Amino acid sequence: SAALLDVTDLKKHYPLKGGLLGGTTGYVYAVDGVSFQIARAETLSLVGESGCGKSTVGKAVLRLFDITSGQVVLDGKRIDDLSTGALRAVRRRVQVVFQDPFSSLNPRMRVRDILAEPIRNFGLAKDGRDLEARVAALMDKVRLPRDAVNRWPHEFSGGQRQRIGIARALAAEPDLIVCDEAVSALDVSVKAQIVNLLQDLQQELGLALLFISHDLAIVEHMTHRVAVMYLGKIVEVAPKRSLFAAPKHPYTEALLSAVPVPMPGKARERILLKGDVPSPINPPKGCRFHTRCPYAFDRCRAEEPRLNHVATALDPGHVAACHLHDLPAAENPLAVAKGA
């Protein structure tokens, strides 16, 4: 069961410079020990509020910087310690679609050249005719007219630009695409079109997706599994159905309570968390969520919970980091699947 992507205990700490001598005065614990896997042709969504470290995880997988510690393994090969030269192959196999389709496309390049660039860089075309054919096929894949390759980015709408961004990612023939808030900047109706396109492409091409998003309604529509992050840690991972029906971490429960439910009478009671997310420079001891958790008890302030399998009626692959699951079921508010 070799995963396509296997991330183990990933940490990214940014030094804070300052003080009289300009030395390191502390660290931002942006990502602080994150492990997860993605299978081929699977979508794993990484969710959580802004600043929780999910984009940093995406950047680590894209090898946009050196990580502090941990391992990132792609298709059985470590990629976190590769030198610049050896990174080329990784760069081809892991592509990205950014949030902002207005700033991620070079305004001075026609669409043809935007798509031809990765094909050339990775030496994928046999000759000029093959290059043209590949560019045309990419336009077909993202459902844009072939003759639009002669146009400039500013001539397209936001949704069309995001299609070009997706085509550019596909041009490299990747195994995995990191989508970092890839639909967040788009209008609601356009969002649905782009999400449907990504799902179609995934099935057609067997692509794996790391779908980074703060929008749980979108995530519920398109993902296979979900990993929830809070303050640099993953607090819960589960197959979609199990997570949405029966969250096993109080933070996930609160996030889900804010997602609109289309069916009247099925609305969840909104859980409002007290206070703000604490600073990742000085995260709370014990469970990082204890300062805001409605169920916190003594142990939570002293001991950090580990990601453990939790009993659910729906799926054995459901893990959560919360001491509640060590309590007898009768004392655990998250023990029973609500409404299930």
Contact (CB, 8 A) for 37 and 317 = no
Which listed option, ligand SF4, Mg ion, none, makes contact with residue 323 (CB within 5 to 8 Å by class)? Answer: ligand SF4
Helices (H), the chain: 54-61, 87-93, 111-121, 128-141, 158-171, 188-205, 216-222, 240-245, 250-257, 298-302
Mutual angle of helices 188-205 and 158-171, in 10-degree steps = 20
Q: Which does 55 bind (CB under 5 to 8 A by kind): ligand SF4, Mg ion, none?
A: Mg ion
- Here's the x/- map for ligand SF4, 303-322, by CB under 6 A: it reads as --x----------------x
Distance CA 270, CA 254 (A): 7
List the single partner that 95 binds among Mg ion, ligand SF4, none, CB under 5 to 8 Å by kind: none
183 CB-side CA count, 13 A:
23
Q: Give the whole-angstrom CA distance, residue 135 versus residue 111.
A: 9
With respect to ligand SF4, which residue has the nearer C-beta, 218 or 322? 322
Residue 220 Cβ, how far from Mg ion at the closest point, in Å?
Answer: 19
> Which strands sit side by side in the sheet containing 233-239, from one edge to the other?
94-97, 176-180, 208-213, 43-47, 225-230, 233-239, 319-320, 308-309
Q: Does 225 bind ligand SF4 (CB under 6 A)?
A: no
Q: Please state the closest distance from residue 137 (CB atom) to Mg ion, in A.
A: 32
- By CB under 6 A, tell whether 195 contacts ligand SF4: no
Smallest separation (angstroms) from Mg ion to the CB of 120? 30
**What x-and-dash track marks residues 272-301 binding ligand SF4 by CB under 6 A?**
---------------x-xx--x-xx---x-
Residue ranges binding Mg ion (CB under 5 A):
55
Residue ranges binding ligand SF4 (CB under 6 A):
249-250, 287, 289-290, 293, 295-296, 300, 305, 322-324
